[in-house]
Homo-oligomer: A and B are copies of this chain.
Amino acid sequence: MEVLNQHKCHGGWLKQCEHASVSTGCIMRLSVYLPPQALTQELPVVYWLSGLTCTDENFVQKAGAFKTAAELGLILVMPDTSPRGTDFDGKAVPNDDGYDLGQGAGFYVNATQAPWKTHFQMYDYVVSELPELIDNNFPSNGQQALSGHSMGGHGALVMGLRNPENYSSISAFSPICHPVDCPWGQKAFTAYLGEDQDNWRAYDASLLLAEASQVVPILVDQGTDDQFLEEQLGGQSLIDAAEKSGHALTYNWREGYDHSYFFISSFIENHLRFHHNHFANQAGTHLTDPSEEE
């Protein structure tokens, strides 16, 4: 892994890196924030998954998260949102004219359809390859949490719901909660996963939550003035799924907030404290199983 540049920030270090990814078959960029405690301790890691059109840099520049990460001793890892550029054979990674498909829009799935399937393996990249890369290069202590925004909120929920043994907690801002039933999700899933909607179910947070046996603590924040709320995000589906399955879900409606990073920056401290609390308490008691409550 190559460090492209680094900046001191809140006593720690922000490093932008790139590496040759096996999962996606191309060079992937990411940013990593190491809080000051990383000089002397192994620390938990929060993975941040960004939304449509973003790179690793949007959260880095706009979220204002590093002060809290420095205070709590959290490593933050910001991967890119898709494969980009050229692959190992020098061929261009496929793209699409739309901002909502192709580069910048990986949707955190493993694509099964041409031309996407060769590179668009973002699920494997984030769930498996990236943690190994981080553990081998930075002082992580093996504890992990997931957070993300919009398409990245979808990714965080899906990955956390499918791998409760990997993550202590999950959080999301303005997530796409029910992608099988919204235009963004239908366009992306048709292209990446094909026409058979049965193959979409493994990437739909509301369907996964409704059928989950165990889930880790989940926190969602959603602005009431979000311009994508009605057509794309489907928050009520996730709330309904939690009620149906009996799993706990903290879903906060935030009056007057929109879909922007100004919303994320207003509540990112809450999300990092939420994850920190579940790292601290993590002694096998963080999983909730509705059958145990009776």
B64 contacts A263, C-beta separation under 8 Å: no
| Alpha-carbon distance A262/B263, docked complex (angstroms) | 20
Rounded to whole Å, the gap between the CB of A148 and the closest CB of chain B is 19
Rounded to whole Å, the gap between the CB of A33 and the closest CB of chain B is 10
Name the residue of chain B whose CB is nearest to the CB of A224.
B8
Does A199 count as interface, using CB distance less than 8 angstroms? no
| Alpha-carbon distance A8/B258, docked complex (angstroms) | 7
A266 contacts B61, C-beta separation under 8 Å: no
Q: Which of A7, A225, A266 has its CB near the most chain B CB atoms (within 10 A)?
A: A7
B266 contacts A10, C-beta separation under 8 Å: yes
A8 contacts B261, C-beta separation under 8 Å: no
Does A142 count as interface, using CB distance less than 8 angstroms? no
A260 contacts B62, C-beta separation under 8 Å: no
Q: A274-293: which residues lie under 8 A (CB-CB) from chain B?
A: none
Interface of A is mostly: mixed
Name the residue of chain B whose CB is nearest to the CB of A257.
B8
Does A43 count as interface, using CB distance less than 8 angstroms? no
Known interface pairs A8-B256, A61-B62, A62-B61; A262-B67 also in contact (CB < 8 Å): no
Q: A7-53: which residues lie under 8 A (CB-CB) from chain B?
A: 7-11, 14
Chain A, residues 209-230, CB within 8 Å of chain B (1/0): the string is: 0000000000000010100000
* Choice from B10, B260, B269 contacting A7 with Cβ under 8 Å: B260
Does A66 count as interface, using CB distance less than 8 angstroms? yes
| Alpha-carbon distance A260/B7, docked complex (angstroms) | 8
A266 contacts B62, C-beta separation under 8 Å: no
Does A265 count as interface, using CB distance less than 8 angstroms? yes
Q: A56-75: which residues lie under 8 A (CB-CB) from chain B?
A: 61-62, 64, 66-67
Contact residues in B for A14 (Cβ distance below 8 Å):
262
| Alpha-carbon distance A269/B266, docked complex (angstroms) | 15
* Choice from B8, B62, B266, B269 contacting A11 with Cβ under 8 Å: B266
Q: List 25 A-B contacts (CB under 8 A).
A: A7-B258, A7-B260, A7-B262, A7-B263, A8-B223, A8-B257, A8-B258, A8-B262, A8-B263, A9-B262, A9-B265, A9-B266, A10-B265, A11-B266, A14-B262, A61-B61, A61-B62, A61-B261, A62-B62, A64-B64, A66-B262, A66-B265, A66-B266, A67-B266, A67-B269
Please give me the 10 A-B residue pairs with the lowest Cβ-Cβ distance, nearest first: A64-B64, A9-B262, A7-B262, A8-B256, A10-B266, A8-B257, A61-B62, A7-B260, A9-B266, A7-B258
| 4 further contact pairs, Cβ within 8 A, besides A8-B256, A8-B257, A66-B266 | A9-B266, A11-B266, A61-B61, A66-B265
